[in-house]
Structure 1
Amino acid sequence: MFGYFCVMITDETIIALSTPPGIGAIGVIRLSGKEAISITNSVFSGKDLLQQESHTIHFGMIKDGNVIIDEVLVSLFIAPKSYTKENVVEISCHGSNYIIQQIISLLIRKGASAAKPGEFTLRAFLNGGLDLSQAEAVADLISSDSQAAHSVAMNQLRGGFSTELNQLREKLIHFASMIELELDFAEEDVEFANRDQLQALIDQITLVINKLIRSFELGNVIKQGINTVIAGRPNAGKSTLLNALLNEERAIVSEIAGTTRDTIEEVLNINGINFRLIDTAGIREAKDAIEIIGVEKTMEKISQSAVLVYLFDVINMSASEIKEDIAKLYKPGVAFLAVANKMDLTYNDRLAELDLPKDINFIAISAKENRQIDDLKQMLYETAVGDQLSDSHTMVTNIRHVEALQKTQHALAQVSNGMVNPVTSDFLATDIKQALYYLGEITGQVTTDDLLENIFSKFCIGK
């Protein structure tokens, strides 16, 4: 589909609604292509749009023959000074579905074609306005629902990720060219590429790639939200804690053990990060079929969590019971936070008396009395994020990028092996080309039709 589409893309003027569908104050209809201005001009009653300058706005009417459809504002962006690097027109009309469809239908009759999902951004990429990772950041920016997700997407859209990769790629290209030169002088047995310098560069690139791959763990949860499971025994106060964190009565609170049979999920924003809080059924020997399902769901959610909040009743549980729960719930790679609840009913030094594991983060709260809840929120943030977020910190949020980085990593390891166990220059050149290929896949120096279709088909229409 996209193979043919990519060849033909510059021959058509495309049109789509760029604002969300539905009734609103205004709707914005966007056209892009060589004939975008002339097609619009053919139905516009006002100034001659063909004689106007770029980045100007003009008031007038859209007319179908003698019938006025709407009064509009028309914004002009003349190539190459536009998002797609083509002529772009944006028509701001009243937000009636009828009016919007009438205008789009009229402009299609005049020669425009309905845009496919992501086609405007695809044109921006194909015309050199964005690289591929920046184009993907556009979709991330549109779907961002927290300050952190917005910041990460903006950094990528502004080229932070691309700049770092391109600098490494240029250095690697230099060595690739030197080794290619060696192949031209193979009979003379000369080396133009200093092997020690090449190994130093590989070490440098590998260090950066490792950092980027590790950043995906945080970058992905920022993009998707951090799965945070609240687990513990019945009547530990899990539902009370959920209500206290959300500052609303979201979960039913009861003294009857086993009240929560199913999971309850809500989103809590802490310092710009979305935590997807999941209140679970109490962990105990289930007494009926429904409770069995609830406990099974609890264990499933725990296995999928990025942060696990283990809540225990500091009054009624012994140290051995708490340690037994921790041993059962703790999973490598999952941030673990133990929370002692009901401290309003006991002494503050109770935790010291319990002699609990020193390598687990503990905090004492009273969910019922709303004590230490702000401190718990801050500890949640520090446990999940810490100081890893900064404007200068490049973060990977896309699984496609991670897979390409891992393949690059493998190819570079092959280059290193080829220098430790000497191979001929043509083998080294092949492995370096593989590394360059995978790096190029991220930013779009290397693309396939299937890759482009997979990426841009997920965009909304009109972007």
Structure 2
Amino acid sequence: MIDQSTICAISTAPGNGAIAIVRLSGTNALTICDKVFTAASSKQISEQKANTVHFGTIQDGEDIIDEVLVSIFRAPHSYTGENSIEIACHGAPFIQYRILQVLLKNGARSATPGEYTQRAFLNGKMDLSQAEAVADLIASSSAAAHKVALQQMRGGFSNEIANLRGRLLNFISLIELELDFGEEDVEFADRTQLTNLVNEIQSLIQKLVNSFELGNVIKNGVPVAIVGNTNVGKSTLLNALLNEDRAIVSDIAGTTRDAIEDTINLGGITFRFIDTAGIRTTLDKIESMGIERTYSKMKQAQIVLLLIDADRTIEDVNDSILRVNQAINRETQHLVVCINKIDLIADPQGFAKRLIGINADDKMLFISAKQKHNIDSLTDELLKTVNMGAINEQDVIVTNIRHFEALKNALGSIDRVNNGLEGQIPTDFLAQDIRECLHFLGEITGDISTDEVLGNIFKNFCIGK
């Protein structure tokens, strides 16, 4: 059941600003506003038309708190689907909280995290996947994350799921009809058409499941571990990529003893660079702990950026290549080899030919981190590892782990339907697997949901949204 109480919250970010927004939503939003707002026109807010803005003062009795602008939204044409008020006041935290206090004093209650969006979902203004996309949009830190979240909020993902469910519902209805007339031995659902539909849906769900790898990268960033021997220039490279002195650079071997992380936006994608401790044999207990963390970070990275010092002996270099090859998974991780300090040697290409353990498909770049030579080529190579084509082609991309798990379950159900059709199993077993697939697809959009699921989703929203 939908809570009928009127809620209020500050919707703008904490701190000082030119203006702030205080929101009020619920059945009594307009009448509560009338109790605290005096319009310059002397007219009551509850008597004004929807989608209008009014200047006046917010007061606590005779005490004027601030001069404000009040915007009116009447049900069902508001974000929440309820009567709503937005008060634009001056941005001092003191003013914001005074206005909030006077609203609470006159009948409103404080909104819980995500309650505005939860009410929008419960009132049919958006489905559950669109509601979750609101949180992703607020948290987006790159152009790609913003684009995907906006597409999902506008219903791109929801439309895809609705289309799949609609077509399956049509067939499950026919199969249920067959079960009702089981004694008559009639067939309403054409098995050839059902097989074709199941194959198509199976392919579409598999495509959505596969898109999660890219979606996770877009949402959380691409982890890039910078690894190599001590003093090869890892910290210098991190500083060059970030264009700031983030890591300490020294001629003393083993300066970096812990992983240093920072993010940068390249071509609309967030990359998380991890500067690690140099790989070598050491008796220093603290440095050894740092090297252990290097191997751990290396295994977690999607891209391993192996930095090689062109001024080192070939034996040292090949030893570091061997150590990295033993630590990473060549099938799931992308290795980029950077030969650094090329300004110190005459024949970088000849040096590269003497390296052992580099595969033919490994990308090799010649750079100078100190001189920032070929850093642009490195950033271009990093971007090539991310499939930007799917974003540019407006494909539906799954970024939410809850959606991913539901899709995997739906795929398992539709696989069983396909196997059942091939094995000509009884109709009632087919119906059960189709119902399961419909159930898992419905979980994504909220057609099938529980209070516990809703609670877990909306508790992660910020208050005021």
Alignment partners' CA distance in 2, 1:118 and 1:30: 13
Asked if 1:35 corresponds to 2:33, the answer is: no
> What is the match of residue 281 of structure 2?
285
> What is the match of residue 79 of structure 2?
83
Letter in 2 for 1:215: S
Alignment partners' CA distance in 2, 1:164 and 1:444: 14
> What is the match of residue 325 of structure 2?
327
Letter in 1 for 2:319: E
Contact 2:310 2:348 in 1 (8 A): no
> What is the match of residue 308 of structure 1?
304
1:426 to 425, 428, 433: 428
Contact 1:335 1:384 in 2 (8 A): no
Alignment partners' CA distance in 2, 1:351 and 1:190: 76
- Offset of 1:127 from its aligned partner? 0.7
> What is the match of residue 364 of structure 1?
366
Give runs of aligned pairs for residues 77-156 of structure 1, distance below 5 A. 77-156=73-152
Asked if 1:220 corresponds to 2:216, the answer is: yes
Alignment partners' CA distance in 1, 2:154 and 2:335: 35
Contact 1:28 1:90 in 2 (8 A): yes
Per-residue deviation, residues 5-49 of structure 1 (Å, max 9, x unmatched): xx251x211111111222322221101111111110122111321
> SS of 1:42's equivalent?
helix
Letter in 2 for 1:168: L
Give runs of aligned pairs for residues 19-418 of structure 1, distance below 5 A. 19-46=12-39, 47-318=43-314, 320-321=318-319, 323-331=321-329, 332-346=331-345, 347-350=347-350, 353-354=353-354, 356-418=358-420
Aligned length: 456
- Offset of 1:228 from its aligned partner? 0.8
Contact 1:282 1:295 in 2 (8 A): yes
Greater alpha carbon shift after TM alignment, 171-180 vs 351-360? 351-360
- Offset of 1:451 from its aligned partner? 0.4
Alignment partners' CA distance in 1, 2:254 and 2:352: 30
Per-residue deviation, residues 118-142 of structure 1 (Å, max 9, x unmatched): 1100010011111100000000111
Give runs of aligned pairs for residues 436-447 of structure 1, distance below 5 A. 436-447=438-449
> SS of 2:246's equivalent?
coil
Greater alpha carbon shift after TM alignment, 217-226 vs 435-444? 217-226
- Offset of 1:238 from its aligned partner? 0.7
- Offset of 1:239 from its aligned partner? 1.0
> SS of 1:208's equivalent?
helix
- Offset of 1:416 from its aligned partner? 1.5
Alignment partners' CA distance in 1, 2:122 and 2:170: 26
- Offset of 1:326 from its aligned partner? 4.4
Letter in 2 for 1:271: G
- Offset of 1:327 from its aligned partner? 2.1
Q: Which runs of 5+ in 1 are unaligned?
A: 1-6
Letter in 2 for 1:354: R
- Offset of 1:417 from its aligned partner? 2.1
> SS of 2:385's equivalent?
helix
Letter in 2 for 1:180: E
Contact 2:279 2:320 in 1 (8 A): no
> What is the match of residue 4 of structure 1?
none
Contact 1:155 1:391 in 2 (8 A): no
> SS of 1:236's equivalent?
coil
- Offset of 1:348 from its aligned partner? 4.2
Alignment partners' CA distance in 1, 2:147 and 2:385: 20
Alignment partners' CA distance in 2, 1:416 and 1:399: 26
Contact 1:286 1:295 in 2 (8 A): no
Letter in 2 for 1:433: R
Contact 2:307 2:337 in 1 (8 A): yes
Letter in 2 for 1:363: L
Alignment partners' CA distance in 2, 1:200 and 1:372: 51
Per-residue deviation, residues 222-262 of structure 1 (Å, max 9, x unmatched): 11111111001112211111111112222222222111111
Alignment partners' CA distance in 2, 1:161 and 1:284: 48
Letter in 1 for 2:448: V
Contact 2:261 2:274 in 1 (8 A): yes
Taking every aligned residue pair, what percent have the same amino acid on both sides? 50
Per-residue deviation, residues 316-372 of structure 1 (Å, max 9, x unmatched): 242743652442243131122111112222324236523642021111111122110
Contact 2:229 2:320 in 1 (8 A): no
- Offset of 1:144 from its aligned partner? 0.9
Contact 1:148 1:222 in 2 (8 A): yes
Task: Classify 1:429/1:171 alpha carbon distance in 2 versus 1 (closer, same or farther; 3 Å).
Answer: same
Task: Classify 1:322/1:302 alpha carbon distance in 2 versus 1 (closer, same or farther; 3 Å).
Answer: closer
Alignment partners' CA distance in 2, 1:98 and 1:323: 59
- Offset of 1:426 from its aligned partner? 1.5
* TM-score, normalising length: structure 2: 0.95
- Offset of 1:384 from its aligned partner? 3.2
Letter in 2 for 1:427: F
Contact 2:2 2:122 in 1 (8 A): no
Alignment partners' CA distance in 2, 1:214 and 1:222: 14
Alignment partners' CA distance in 1, 2:135 and 2:143: 16
Letter in 2 for 1:403: E
> SS of 1:83's equivalent?
coil
- Offset of 1:425 from its aligned partner? 1.5
> SS of 2:238's equivalent?
helix
Contact 1:307 1:384 in 2 (8 A): no
